[in-house]
Amino acid sequence: MSHHDLSSFRPRLLGISGSLRAASHTTAILEGLRAPLADKAHYEVFRLNEVPLYDGDLDTANPPAGVAALRAAIAAADGLIVASPEYNYGTSGVLKNAIDWASRPGGQGAIKGKPALIITSSPGTAGGVRAQYQVREALSGAGARPIVRPHVAIAQVGGKIEDGKLVEKDALDFALAAVDGLIEEIRILAHYKALA
Ligand SMILES: Cc1cc2nc3c(=O)[nH]c(=O)nc-3n(C[C@H](O)[C@H](O)[C@H](O)COP(=O)(O)O)c2cc1C
C-alpha cells in the first residue's frame, strides 16, 4: 500500500468492543460502521470474549491464545476504533483489561503508536461520555495515540440500532466523520514515517 497515492490509500481499521454480550449496543455501533467503511478501509471488529483477566504470571512470551489474537489484530491495524459502554461512570473492566494486555511488554506493546478513535454509548442521555476520559487515559498510558475529536458519545443508543447495527442517520454520520478523522490521522502519520 502506498501512503502517498491517496486514491488507493486503504487503511486497516480494527474495531474493539468493550462489551461481551451478544446483543451489545457497543458491538452494534462497530457493526454499523462496516458497510459505510467498505469502500475506504479494511475493517474488522474484535470481540474480547476470549481474552482472560490480566495475570502477570501469564504475561510471558507465550501468552493465552486470546491475548495473542488480540495483540496480532492490533499489530496488523493502522488504527483502532475503541468502543466502550459506560459502567458506573467509567469504562468496562473488559475494555481496560484488553488495553492492559495490549500495552505489554511495557513500552513495546502492540498498541504502542496506534492512532485510536474512542466511541462511547449508553441507553441513557449522556452517551457514556463519562467513560471517554478513562479510555483516553488508558490508551495514553499504553502509548497509543488517542485522536483529538469532539466526543462520539451516542445517547439513547437502544433506539438507534436495528438488526445488530447502528442505523440512526445522525449518530452514524457523526461517528463516520470521526472515523474520517482517524483515517486522516493515519495518513498524516504514514506521511511523517515516510519522511523520517
Ligand atoms: C455494571 C453496570 C453499570 C452501569 N453503569 C452505567 C452508567 O454509569 N451509565 C450509563 O449510562 N449506563 C450504565 N449502565 C447501563 C449500560 O450502559 C447498558 O447496560 C449498556 O447497554 C451496556 O453496553 P452494551 O449494550 O454494549 O452491553 C451500566 C450497566 C452495568 C451492567
* Residue whose grid cell is 458497510: 35
**CA 163 to CA 32: how far, in whole Å?**
10
Using the mean position of ligand 1's atoms as its centre, give its distance from the Cα of residue 90 in Å: 9
The string of pLDDT tens digits covering residues 69-118 is 999 999 999 999 999 999 999 999 999 999 999 999 999 999 999 999 99
Number of residues in the chain: 196
**CA 43 to CA 155: how far, in whole Å?**
24
The string of pLDDT tens digits covering residues 10-33 is 999 999 999 999 999 999 999 999
- The pTM for the full model equals 0.96
Using the mean position of ligand 1's atoms as its centre, give its distance from the Cα of residue 82 in Å: 16
The string of pLDDT tens digits covering residues 130-151 is 999 999 999 999 999 999 999 9
What pLDDT score does 1 carry? 46
The string of pLDDT tens digits covering residues 148-182 is 999 999 999 999 999 999 999 999 999 999 999 99
**CA 9 to CA 24: how far, in whole Å?**
31
Q: Which residue has its alpha carbon closest to ligand 1 atom 24?
A: 24
109 is written with which cell numbers? 506493546
Percent of the chain with pLDDT over 90: 94
CB of 132 shorter than 6 A to ligand 1? no
12-195 has CATH 3.40.50.720 classification: no
| Residue 4 confidence class, pLDDT cut points 50, 70, 90 | low
What pLDDT score does 6 carry? 53
CB of 158 shorter than 6 A to ligand 1? no
Ligand 1 pocket: which of 49, 86, 161 to mutate (most atoms within 8 A of CB): 86
What pLDDT score does 189 carry? 95
pLDDT of 7 above 80: no
pLDDT of 55 above 60: yes
β-pairing, 165-166 with 161-162? antiparallel
What pLDDT score does 9 carry? 86
Number of C-beta neighbours around residue 62 at 10 A: 8
What pLDDT score does 196 carry? 86
Q: Hey, is 47 helix, strand or coil? A: strand
CB of 26 shorter than 6 A to ligand 1? yes
CB of 25 shorter than 6 A to ligand 1? yes
